[in-house]
Amino acid sequence: MTVFYLLFVLSALYAIAGDVAVRIMLTRRNIQTSFWLRGVPGYLYRICTRDPSVSPRWRRFAYSTNVAFVICFLSVLAIVATEEESSMQELQR
């Protein structure tokens, strides 16, 4: 179970820090982004793929932050499932 917590924390940190880095890169290149959609998973990657001035390295990095978000979400589901299972076992005793 602590593996899921560790996976959640590390993937969340990577996803958030990576999104901030991609946003900074896009801002420095004067690429317009929507203020309201910046936190939506996949949005910054779509912006990176549409603009030819963004290098393939930044595109892969933006994609990896989306993968980290999915891993974070799946680890939360695993944590909830294991917590629910342990609480059900305690109720049965």
pLDDT for the residue numbered 30: 92
pLDDT for the residue numbered 41: 82
User: Where in the sequence is the domain holding 70, given as residue range(s)?
Assistant: 2-92
Helices 43-50 and 2-28 cross at an angle (nearest 10°) of: 40
Whether residue 58 is predicted with pLDDT greater than 70 in this model: the reply is: yes
pLDDT for the residue numbered 39: 79
What percentage of the chain has pLDDT greater than the value 90?
Answer: 70
Residue 57 confidence class, pLDDT cut points 50, 70, 90: very high
The three-state secondary structure class of 55 is: coil
- Distance in angstroms (rounded) separating the CA atoms of residues 13 and 53: 27
Number of structural domains in the chain:
1
pLDDT in tens, 21-43: 999 999 999 998 888 887 788 89
Whether residue 74 is predicted with pLDDT greater than 80 in this model: the reply is: yes
pLDDT for the residue numbered 34: 85
